[in-house]
Each structure stands twice: as structure tokens, then as C-alpha cells.
Structure 1
Amino acid sequence: MKDNKEIVLRVPATCANIGPGFDSLGMALNIYTDVSFEKSGMAPYNNPDNIELELTGFESRYANRENLVYKSFVRAVNHISGVFPQKLKIGIKSEVPVCRGLGSSAACIVAAVKAAYELSGKPYSDTEVLEVCNLIEGHPDNVTPALMGGFTAAIQKDGQVFMSNIPVSKDLRFFAFVPDFSLSTEYSRSVLPQNVDFKDAVYNVSHVSLMIAAFVNSEFDILKTAVSDRLHQKYRSKIIDEYEEVVNICKGMSATATFLSGAGPTVMVIDQNLSNTLEIYQKKLSRLKRGWKAYELKIDFQGTRIKES
């Protein structure tokens, strides 16, 4: 195994939950986080504390050993071999807004784990990478599409991840509306109920079944109804400033479907009406107070890949 090696990984953003698909469905989207890893030498005593660490491109609050990329890398190396480099340089360049419900944390974890496997020089499978990512993240709905690409369904059982890709049209057109404020997943989860009514559980099961069928069969007119949810969106929407105003803009433009991206605050829109352009949406959003920025997106079907230098 060579002591010196460098790798750059490109990880797509993700939209998790997808309406009624709480903690199980996710899509990879075509905005990206590039994370570079450069290692040299091997540390004595298999101790990560010996690593001479350099972090570039991160905000100052993340430029320390509590950095999620670094901690995930250490966790993955311990899982694989426990042999650490003497020097490690990690750099990041990202188009993905942080703490906005677009999988910025999942991107860090996936990049770190896949890099650890690549730099180890040992053969591996994406299934192994996914298992370690899930151990770190705690749920597979974001890390699965970030790693595998496309539209995925995933669950974890007894520490194992079971996932499947859902076939979906490449012509789907998405808009992500991102405000100027962040929302932590921890806080967004704290507003959810501990128990739900049986009829609400049935409501979500029926709607997620219909929604997946509509995606698979490209019956997009059904999505407006099928993305409805009773497990998380009605609770989370109350802590997102101007959420109703954004949804009303989408309704006024007869968008195909509207739902929260991940834990929020980003609002995701599917709109197959080509007359509804990014410029029109941005103009309407600019009348609001919270600095909403519109992105026009497609599904990324490649997932995490090694970026050619």
C-alpha cells in the first residue's frame, strides 16, 4: 500500500422524506459537495490523535477535530483497519446550503467513509460503505441516495440497511426554495409527536404507496395529492418562517407537488409546467422577507463518484 495518496469525491445533495416517505425515501439531486483527502505516512500506535490534520475550505466553526468529515473518516478507518496516516489534509468545496434539509451532513459522512475505504487499498463494496455510513448517521434515508444516486427506499433492521432503487423519469423537474436561515435536524425532530393516531399511520401508508406508483408510472398529476403527509410536515411547517407564503406561491402557479426537503426549512417543488421558470419563481420569492433562493434541479443518478483531476 502506498503511503501517499490523494482522492477527490463528489457527493450529490439529497432530499429525504419525500412527502409521506418519512425516514425511508430519498433522492439525489444535481448540486454537489466535493471533498478532497490527501494522506501521507502511517501513524504509530494506530492512534488517530497522532494525525497531523489540516482542514481547508471549512467555516471556522468546523475547522477542528470535531469536524464531521474528519470524525466520520476516523470512525470508518477504525471499522476497516485502525491504521491511520501520519498526515491528513481534508478540503471541501460545496454548492449545498448547510443545515437546510438538503443532506449537507450526509454528504460529509458519505465522502469520508468512501474515502477511508479507497485510501485503505482494500477491496470493498458500496453495501459495506452504506452500512458504515448508516452507523454514523443513524438513519439511511439521506446517505443511501447520496451514495447510490437516484430515488431510493431504505430501512435499517438489526444494524443492516436494506435498500432498493425506485425507477423514475429523468425528465422530472424540481425546484428547491432555500431560505436565509438554518434549521437543525435535532430541533426539527423535537417538535414531532411521540405517538401518532392509527388513522394517520394508515393515511401515510396509503399515500406513500400511491406516490411511489405515480413516480414509477410517470403519472405526475397524481403527485399533488399523493405527497400529502400527516407524520411530520404539519408539525415542522409551523417552525419554518414564511412556509405558508411559499406554499401559496406554488399553489398560485399550479405546481405539480410541494413538500419539505428533509427536516426543512427547504421547500421542494416538482413542476412539469415549463412556463413556470426559475426566474418567475425567484421574482415571487424575492417579495418575501427571509431571503428565499430558488434552485432548479434534476435527479442525480450517479451518486458518489471519484472526481477526475
Structure 2
Amino acid sequence: MTAAVTLNSLAPELVGRRVSVQVPATSANLGPGFDTLGLALALYDELVVEVLPAPGVDIHVEGVGAGEVPTDESHLVVRSIAHVLAHYGYALPGLRLEARNSIPHGRGLGSSGAAIVSGVMAAKGILEGVVEISDNDALALATELEGHPDNVAPALFGGLTIAWTTPEGPQHKKLMVHRGVSPVVFVPEHVMSTALARSLQPESVPHEDAVFNVSRSALLVAALIQSPELLLAATEDKLHQNYRAAAMPETNALIVALRAAGYPAVVSGAGPSILVLASDPGQRLGAADLVASVSETPWQALHLAVDFKGSVNASA
């Protein structure tokens, strides 16, 4: 039986500390790069956290999730802060959270990863001067909560990230994206459960499909950083999107139509949103026109830049 661990209270001088955090949306997988590739997008959740003298949490949410997400200690940001503090031996103090959310929930744009990273970065700010949390530490702590690093890595560091795991923990490499790459995300009104999407994956895939995806993943990195004209071929996938298609028929139909017209369209994360990695701003306008003309239900087109900063942390 594991002995209970006694956590220390924060030093009195940390009471009243305020930290602001800004975290970008992310799109993982990018077609063939399942659980490996992620891209940060210029759509942000913002958070201000204040350490209170008395226990308890006071949570205010504006924008996405207002009136829907929990406003007690089960809130994902609070759980993330508590996880980081406990890792360094500290109990959760009283907290006031002011969240302004723009990232859609349950649409494949990394909302849970953004909440986790928000909590990790808030805890880092709270502990500044007491505990120094490195980039590798932040990635490891966020991955422990998220389960895989493909969303939290770009949320933390920005740009295009390649993430992998080792016995020493998750690792990442950040790459700068070619300036011609012009993402557009099509967001439907309906949601998709990440757990359901993952449950549709087979435990094994044919050897030729694995080889196919290895080649396309390598090509995709080259296309994103150097040769955007190769994006249509580079975003082909045989590992996950076909298996999930039946659960997202509208998403699948639009991706088929977009790709048939020459647009590099993929499922964003676990879906149901669609990411088009256009090679120039004009191409993404064409993709938006096509979606508007063929879709039977509303899809919001988000014309987003690639975010190169990642999460930003400052004293509030």
C-alpha cells in the first residue's frame, strides 16, 4: 500500500501572485503524422490566475465553454495546476481563475491540450523563483495529463512540432513553417469525442499502410518547411482517417470533395473539424468557397496564421 504524501503549503510571499497565460490552438496528426506531428494556430485561450489567501477556487469563464465547463476543482486548468504543484511537493492553494476562451471544444483543435498547458504554465508562473520548470519538464508534465505529446508540444512551443517518447520521457523538435503555408480550419456545429475517435483505431495495420504513412510523414515535414506545392501528396493517410470516417460522415464527405479539387484537406486532430493546409492565401479562399457550395450544414471557416510563439507566460 502506497503511503500518503503530505504536501506543503506555498510560501506566504506567493499569496497574491498573479500570472497571465496565452495558449494557442493546435491541430494534430496533419494527415499522416498520427500522434507525432502537430501545428500551432493563431487562435488563443487566455487565462489569468491569482493565488488567494484562503482555500477554494473562484472561476470565471468567458467565451467558449461559459456556463458549460465546471467551475470547481474539477476544472481541467485547476487539475493541471494541482498536478504540477503536487509534483513539486505543494498543495493546491486558493485560486482565482479568469478564463477567456476562443478555442472550440470537442472539435479537434486541441482545447483540452490548451487547458492543460494553461495550467502547467500558470503553475510555472506561480512557482517562479521557487522552482524552475524547464521546457522538458513542462512537456513531461503536460503529457502525463494529456496522454500523448502531439497537441501539448505545439501548444507549448509553437510552430510545427515533431513529438516522440523515450524512456526518459517525451521529446520534441520545433520547426518553422514555410511562409506560403496558409491554414484554414472548417469547424462544424457538432462535436466529436477524442476517446470515441481513438476507439475506432485498429490495434494493427497492414505493413504496406505503415510504409505508406512513413513516406508521407517524411514528405509532409519537407512540404511544410520547404515545399508547400507538395502538400496535397504529403497529406495522404492510411493509418487513422479512413477508420474514423463512418463516425464523421460529413467531415469525410467534405475532405473527399476538397481533395478531389486539389486542396490538402485532413481531419484536424480527432475531428470533426477539417484542416486545409493551403499553399497560399488564394487557395484557402477557394477551399472556403467550395465548402460553402457543397456542405449541407453550417461550417465556420477560420483563416488562421501559424503561431510561432507557443504559450506565453507573464506576471499579470
TM-score by length of 2: 0.88
- Name the structure 2 match of 1:53: 57
The secondary structure found in structure 2 opposite 1:181 is: coil
**Residues 82, 8 of structure 1: CA spacing in aligned structure 2 closer, same or farther, 3 A cutoff?**
same
One-letter amino acid of the structure 2 residue matched with residue 170 of structure 1: R
| Candidates 16, 21, 37, aligned match of 2:33 | 21
Give the Cα–Cα distance (whole angstroms) in 2 for the partners of residues 59 and 104 of structure 1: 16
Once the two structures are TM-superposed, the CA of residue 6 in structure 1 deviates from its matched residue by 1.1
Q: Does 1:84 align with 2:92?
A: yes
Give the Cα–Cα distance (whole angstroms) in 1 for the partners of residues 24 and 255 of structure 2: 25
Q: Residue by residue, what CA displacement relative to the aligned partner does 1:252-280 show, whole Å, maximum 9, x if unpaired? A: 6532x111111111110022354346497
- Name the structure 2 match of 1:271: 278
Once the two structures are TM-superposed, the CA of residue 73 in structure 1 deviates from its matched residue by 1.1
Higher mean displacement: 241-250 or 123-132: 241-250
| Candidates 100, 111, 115, aligned match of 1:108 | 115
The secondary structure found in structure 2 opposite 1:225 is: helix
Once the two structures are TM-superposed, the CA of residue 190 in structure 1 deviates from its matched residue by 0.8
Once the two structures are TM-superposed, the CA of residue 301 in structure 1 deviates from its matched residue by 0.4
The secondary structure found in structure 1 opposite 2:119 is: helix
List alignment gaps of at least 5 residues for structure 2: 1-12
Does the 8 A contact of 1:37 with 1:90 survive in 2? yes
Higher mean displacement: 228-237 or 265-274: 265-274
Q: Does 1:36 align with 2:40?
A: no
Q: Residue by residue, what CA displacement relative to the aligned partner does 1:48-79 show, whole Å, maximum 9, x if unpaired? A: xxx31111114334223221111111111101
**Residues 137, 296 of structure 1: CA spacing in aligned structure 2 closer, same or farther, 3 A cutoff?**
same
State, as a whole percentage, how many aligned pairs show the same letter: 32
Give the Cα–Cα distance (whole angstroms) in 2 for the partners of residues 284 and 120 of structure 1: 47
One-letter amino acid of the structure 1 residue matched with residue 194 of structure 2: T
**Residues 282, 81 of structure 1: CA spacing in aligned structure 2 closer, same or farther, 3 A cutoff?**
farther
Once the two structures are TM-superposed, the CA of residue 213 in structure 1 deviates from its matched residue by 1.9
**Residues 213, 279 of structure 1: CA spacing in aligned structure 2 closer, same or farther, 3 A cutoff?**
closer
One-letter amino acid of the structure 2 residue matched with residue 89 of structure 1: R
| Candidates 153, 160, 167, aligned match of 1:151 | 160
The secondary structure found in structure 2 opposite 1:62 is: coil
Q: Does 1:4 align with 2:16?
A: yes
- Name the structure 1 match of 2:211: 202
Once the two structures are TM-superposed, the CA of residue 166 in structure 1 deviates from its matched residue by 2.3
Q: Does 1:168 align with 2:177?
A: yes
List alignment gaps of at least 5 residues for structure 1: 44-50
Once the two structures are TM-superposed, the CA of residue 283 in structure 1 deviates from its matched residue by 7.5
Give the Cα–Cα distance (whole angstroms) in 1 for the partners of residues 284 and 218 of structure 2: 30
Q: Residue by residue, what CA displacement relative to the aligned partner does 1:210-237 show, whole Å, maximum 9, x if unpaired? A: 22122232x2222211111111011122
Q: Does 1:235 align with 2:234?
A: no
**Residues 286, 88 of structure 1: CA spacing in aligned structure 2 closer, same or farther, 3 A cutoff?**
farther
Residues 127-142 of structure 1 aligned to structure 2 (within 5 Å): 127-142=136-151
One-letter amino acid of the structure 2 residue matched with residue 70 of structure 1: V
Give the Cα–Cα distance (whole angstroms) in 1 for the partners of residues 232 and 312 of structure 2: 33
**Residues 287, 199 of structure 1: CA spacing in aligned structure 2 closer, same or farther, 3 A cutoff?**
closer
Extract structure 1 runs of 4+ deviating beyond 4 A.
276-280
TM-score by length of 1: 0.90
Once the two structures are TM-superposed, the CA of residue 126 in structure 1 deviates from its matched residue by 1.8
| Candidates 199, 204, 208, aligned match of 1:190 | 199
Once the two structures are TM-superposed, the CA of residue 146 in structure 1 deviates from its matched residue by 0.1
The secondary structure found in structure 2 opposite 1:19 is: coil
Give the Cα–Cα distance (whole angstroms) in 2 for the partners of residues 171 and 162 of structure 1: 27
Does the 8 A contact of 1:135 with 1:159 survive in 2? no
